[in-house]
Structure 1
């Protein structure tokens, strides 16, 4: 069948992996031998505006589903942060997607700005540092930031878990998905001024809590990302490039004023394409003509060629002018085209089977990131989409850093099942095969069914959690 691709775990040797990459017409940097520290490219320290990072592994930000309904962390949140620290990665990008307004929460258990946030963030940061020290590591070269977000069209802030979308502009495909019966409310320019003020407030709070940078999130279809394609929006925050980047520029200016010395980063979807839906045989198919899709920022037309990165280059030029050097690159959105963003063999319960070998999706992100790093050598760039590589993640990651294709290798899902992978790689230890993320997508299916965040198949803590049985029942029902 068209969606049946070889599993990475079945590619037992480097030669088999490289032969498969060649057979599908992809190109991936690859080192047959993975070097331990101190000689490994992955072990090299690097200076950033937020501090000196002691190696080239980065933990990507998570959207937790295990906070309280009033936006505070729980013991499950604290455990996750401690494991981020235990990972050995020296750049913690965001740790958590932290909503700066209640109406911007993507789920009713997401962390959110509130009266106790400063003390809560102090505690989470200390949990992370304690995990790092517990792994026998120094903390002087550990760089920790907080991702600030508003979920916009994908807001589900209330305990009833119903969509409460707030959009930047009308969208003919996405509007009917999130609000089939009524128009999606549009945020006014005054709303966006208020949002910018909240972002600045949260940034100053994060600085007081000990974080050395904040990420002003511009990825995955959330509000910051959506504004970048708001060409049809009228008013100060839409239309031309100046309007579409006003939220970023206004927020950076406010942070420089109210939190001097705090570094700023941006996680960006470097390219996008039409929304996909489940088609024949449950394989994803485009819901609009990719070549005509007018709502992408960095449009990929679905061909073998790389996406059109002119939008992206203009944005990275702006970041350089603003003195922002921390950039974490991703692609698309987990809500409407997850295969280009988060390659996986097994889709979440509400997803579709991959319409291309997921290795193609990985290779595309790595190639785009390398092209942008070449054009913007002074930026400190984190690459994403590595978890699908599984056993071969260290081989590809080392080659990418060695050849200058990115400064950091970002780990997302992998950290839920195998947080200590970076330490094992740097210490020259064999990978723990039974802990390697196999992209079962239960860490997405669970939250989509109102359950907590975690790796239910591979983390014994979550295998024993009551939500594991609920997840099995939900999947059986689906």
Structure 2
């Protein structure tokens, strides 16, 4: 039976289990460059036992950052820092661990403070910058009105995705994930809530998905040696927004460009969204997409209990699982999952004398 610890092939890579570290923004970079915090963060997850480690949203240009602390791959300094940090993570990683970066552009959700500083748009005196989007529609009242990108501006950002992909390959990553979810720029083009264009980049679904498709095409062209995936918001949870059947068509178009998996998230593009959150609240979206496409599908969203995660895979609702907050809370979560499911897991030899405790704690729970 296929379960959480069954191997899976995705594109050119063979993963030893179906546990992924979800990309989680740390807001701790120095003008896009990985810091000492990232050294700890990447090394920590390298030893977790998860087969797939995707580092956080990594912006393709400076104005594409959510905040001044966001990670990037738009400069030589960014590339060098990522390479050094990744080398260190690989030195301590469990055998068979693959590392990827999530390339992105925040679009109209850029130029904000860090979440623990409020997450609001930067004000005068906080070094704000002009944001851009598919259309000149602010995310919410009080947010900066973005500039609608011109044809030249769109082409320039597509090229920047390609340049960042080259940097990712040189830095040593194994795969790239395109961030087309959570209201960031690719999602802004996909969603009719934020894309009111009347040219070839807006209107019909084929036009709205054109930016995502051309970004994927450029990334594949510039970094053909890296496996490519994508994260999508399957629906906006707002009337008139992106819906499930449209996202299936987007996935099929991305697959035709060489995308090897899709992570199914949702929302993030409107403050009017009504999301019924709860344990595994997005799994039904992954299941919907999986039933209609031919590439592996990853589920994500409040999945934090081993049997819950295992059942999602065993029941065929998704091919693999991404965990975010659960792994922040417990970077050894895969150890606990292995204990709960009666499976073995390889741990660093320096940690082996402690591995029995996860089995003990799991039985006590």
Normalised by the shorter chain, which TM-score bucket? 0.7 to 0.9
Distance 1:332 1:405, change over 3 A: same
User: Is residue 117 from structure 1 mapped to residue 34 from structure 2 by the alignment?
Assistant: no
Structure 1 residues 96-116: Cα deviation after superposition (integer angstroms, max 9, x where no partner) = 111111111001011122122
Which residue number in structure 1 is paired with residue 7 of structure 2?
45
CA contact (8 A) 2:220 2:257 kept: no
Determine which of 270, 275, 281 is the counterpart of 2:234.
Answer: 270
Once residues 40 and 58 of structure 1 are traced to their aligned partners in structure 2, the CA distance between those partners, rounded to angstroms, is 16
Per-residue deviation, 1:208? 1.6
Q: How large is the RMSD of aligned CA atoms in angstroms?
A: 2.5
Per-residue deviation, 1:194? 0.5
CA contact (8 A) 1:59 1:415 kept: yes
User: Is residue 297 from structure 1 mapped to residue 242 from structure 2 by the alignment?
Assistant: yes
Distance 1:163 1:204, change over 3 A: closer
- 1:9-158 equivalences under 5 Å are 41-68=3-30, 70-93=31-54, 95-112=55-72, 113-132=74-93, 137-138=94-95, 141-156=96-111
Q: Matched residue of 1:191: which SS?
A: helix
Larger strand proportion, structure 1 or 2? 2
Per-residue deviation, 1:431? 8.3
CA contact (8 A) 1:203 1:214 kept: yes
- 1:68-467 equivalences under 5 Å are 68=30, 70-93=31-54, 95-112=55-72, 113-132=74-93, 137-138=94-95, 141-156=96-111, 160=126, 162=128, 164-171=130-137, 174-179=139-144, 183-230=145-192, 232-274=196-238, 293-294=239-240, 296-298=241-243, 309-333=244-268, 336=271, 340=275, 358-359=277-278, 362-376=279-293, 378-387=294-303, 390=304, 393-428=305-340, 429-430=358-359
Once residues 151 and 326 of structure 2 are traced to their aligned partners in structure 1, the CA distance between those partners, rounded to angstroms, is 39
Once residues 203 and 326 of structure 1 are traced to their aligned partners in structure 2, the CA distance between those partners, rounded to angstroms, is 17
Structure 1 residues 388-420: Cα deviation after superposition (integer angstroms, max 9, x where no partner) = xx4xx2111101101111111111112222111
CA contact (8 A) 1:40 1:398 kept: no
Once residues 432 and 40 of structure 1 are traced to their aligned partners in structure 2, the CA distance between those partners, rounded to angstroms, is 25
Once residues 233 and 269 of structure 1 are traced to their aligned partners in structure 2, the CA distance between those partners, rounded to angstroms, is 20
Which residue number in structure 2 is paired with residue 30 of structure 1?
none
Task: Answer with 1 or 2: which has the greater Rg.
Answer: 1
CA contact (8 A) 1:165 1:185 kept: yes
Which residue number in structure 2 is paired with residue 31 of structure 1?
none
Q: Matched residue of 1:116: which SS?
A: helix
Per-residue deviation, 1:320? 2.5
Once residues 269 and 249 of structure 2 are traced to their aligned partners in structure 1, the CA distance between those partners, rounded to angstroms, is 24
Question: Normalising by structure 1, what TM-score?
Answer: 0.65
Q: Matched residue of 2:132: which SS?
A: coil
Structure 1 residues 169-192: Cα deviation after superposition (integer angstroms, max 9, x where no partner) = 244x7342413xxx4322222111
Per-residue deviation, 1:212? 2.0
CA contact (8 A) 2:8 2:14 kept: yes
Q: Matched residue of 2:180: which SS?
A: coil
CA contact (8 A) 1:425 1:431 kept: no
Distance 1:154 1:161, change over 3 A: farther
CA contact (8 A) 1:58 1:411 kept: yes
Per-residue deviation, 1:334? 8.1
Q: Matched residue of 1:97: which SS?
A: strand
Q: Matched residue of 1:79: which SS?
A: helix
Distance 1:250 1:170, change over 3 A: same
Once residues 49 and 74 of structure 1 are traced to their aligned partners in structure 2, the CA distance between those partners, rounded to angstroms, is 31
Q: Which consecutive unaligned segments of at least 5 residues does structure 1 have? A: 1-38, 275-292, 299-308, 341-355, 437-478
Once residues 322 and 141 of structure 2 are traced to their aligned partners in structure 1, the CA distance between those partners, rounded to angstroms, is 33
Per-residue deviation, 1:337? 6.1
Question: Normalising by structure 2, what TM-score?
Answer: 0.83
Once residues 59 and 306 of structure 2 are traced to their aligned partners in structure 1, the CA distance between those partners, rounded to angstroms, is 32
Per-residue deviation, 1:211? 1.3
Once residues 145 and 127 of structure 1 are traced to their aligned partners in structure 2, the CA distance between those partners, rounded to angstroms, is 15
Which residue number in structure 2 is paired with residue 26 of structure 1?
none
Once residues 245 and 368 of structure 1 are traced to their aligned partners in structure 2, the CA distance between those partners, rounded to angstroms, is 19
